[in-house]
Amino acid sequence: MSFKKFRRWMDEPGNSLVFTGSTMFVIVVSAGILVPLFYRFGPYDFVGEPLQSPSWAYLFGTDQLGRDIFSRTFHAVYRDMGVAFLGVSIPFITGTLIGIILGISKSKKTTSLIGSVIDGINAFPLLILAVASIAFLGPGLSSVIIILSLVNWARYAKIARTKAVVVSKANYIEAAYTLGYPKRRIFRKHIGPNVSSETIAYALSDFIIVILLVAGLSFLGLAATPPAAEWGAMISEGRPYLISSPWVSTFPGIALCWSAISLSLVVDGLNRREGKV
């Protein structure tokens, strides 16, 4: 793409937001790949005196045990992002599928029954259900993924069902049936993509919610637990030193905000391109 074309693209509403957001996202992800590969300190190495302020030797300072915060902050990327990615993509797939099936199914009794189960699951705040289930599954990042897969699909199913009902009545679907296309083809090529465009839009904003959820649960000591390098856990570890050595909590906090804001900008830009509020 030539520079002129790029300028013109950026002038369209929303695109500058998408560009800024995705650049921020790429920066944090590539730092999350490069720092673990090439940085001289590991996340669990005791590299020097505890609670040293940021300097050239230790870019983000050291924590209460003398570990390098720069290394730990970027080692956390794959953990936070990875868990959030799994915790979004699994419910996205199952929820969209269930929603489409409910939307095009003809049995009214089953659909309204499953529909009210979905409403029941959605009635719980996600955080409460996650906290409560950890009592039964035990703390850990894998528990968070399990809970999200068991619970979060209901939100996708609700969106997909509403959209699938609309799509399945559209003229082009009728046309496809009239042309005698096999059902599988109509499902895969027509209904699937049209419904999932809606759930993908939700998945992006769900990614923000889930990143914050994982960090929040770790902050409470329910997901990643110390000594794991994870933003929420690191913020929680730095809490006693918040006033004397604020860098211990602040740098992981900034990394968390940075990632969530980058995604939020992308979502906002995409909404703007489509003229949504």
Partner 1 sequence: MAQAAGATGKTEQKVVDNRKVFAFEIGFRLIRAMAVSFWVTVIAFLMMRIAPGDPARAALGLEATEEEVAILRKQLGLDRPLYEQFINFFTGVLRGDFGISLSFNREVSDIIFTALPTSLWLVLLTFIMGWSIVIPLALFVATSKSVIVAYLFRSTTAISIALPNFFIALILILLIGHPLFGYTPEFPENLGYLWLPAFVMVSSGGIAIMTRILASSISDTLKEEYVETGVFRGISRFRFLFYYLLKPSLAPTVALAAFGLGTAIGTTAIIESIFSIPGVGTELLAAVNGRDYPTVQALTFIFGVMVVFISFIGDLLAYWLDRRVKL
Q: What does the DSSP 8-state code read for residue 40?
A: S
- C-alpha distance from residue 98 to each of 27, 61, 202, 223 (Å): 35, 48, 16, 28
CA nearest to 275, candidates 12, 24, 16, 21: 12
Choose the binding region for partner 1 from 26-34, 74-82, 174-182, 243-251 (rule: CB under 8 A): 243-251
Distance CA 174, CA 172 (A): 5
Q: Which of 29, 131, 165, 204 lies at the binding interface for partner 1 (CB under 8 A)?
A: 131
261 binds partner 1 (CB under 8 A): yes
User: Binding segment for partner 1 among 4-12, 71-79, 131-139, 157-165 (CB under 8 A)?
Assistant: 131-139
Q: Which residues pair with 46 in a beta bridge?
A: 67
CB of 36 to partner 1, least distance (A): 23
Question: Does the protein bind partner 1 through residue 10 (CB under 8 A)?
Answer: no
3-state secondary structure of 46: strand
Contacts of partner 1 in 132-171 (CB under 8 A): 132-137
Length of the chain: 277
Least Å from the CB of residue 267 to partner 1: 8
In angstroms, give the least distance from the CB of 133 to partner 1.
6
3-state SS string over 60-85? Answer: CCECCCCEEHHHHHHHHHHHHHHHHH
Q: Does 69 bind partner 1 (CB under 8 A)?
A: no
Q: Which of 1, 108, 125, 182 binds partner 1 (CB under 8 A)?
A: 125
Q: Output the CA torsion 143→145→151→153 (10° steps).
A: -170
Q: Could you tell me which of 233, 240, 238, 239 has the C-alpha nearest to residue 219?
A: 233
Cβ proximity to partner 1: between 201 and 268 the closer is 268
Binding mask 193-232 for partner 1 (x = CB under 8 A): ---------------x---x--xx--xxxx---------x
Residues 162 and 156 sit within 8 Å (Cβ to Cβ): no
Q: Does 264 bind partner 1 (CB under 8 A)?
A: yes
List, in order, residues 6 or more apart from 217 with CB less than 8 Å away: 127, 130, 131, 134, 144, 223, 232
> Which residues have C-beta within 8 Å of that of residue 37, sequence separation ≥ 6?
none
Number of residues that bind partner 1 (CB under 8 A): 46
Determine if 235 is a binding residue for partner 1 (CB under 8 A). Answer: yes
Binding test (CB under 8 A) with partner 1, winner from 46, 48, 246, 273: 246
- Find out whether 259 and 25 touch, Cβ atoms under 8 Å: yes
Nearer to partner 1, 13 or 193 (CB): 13
Residue with tokens 């990143």: 211
Span near partner 1 by CB under 8 A; candidates 63-71, 100-108, 127-135, 155-163: 127-135
Q: Does 277 help bind partner 1 (rule: CB under 8 A)?
A: yes
Which residues sit at the interface with partner 1, rule CB under 8 A? 17, 116-117, 119-121, 123-129, 131-137, 208, 212, 215-216, 219-222, 232, 235, 239, 242-243, 246, 249, 253, 256-257, 260-261, 263-265, 267-268, 277
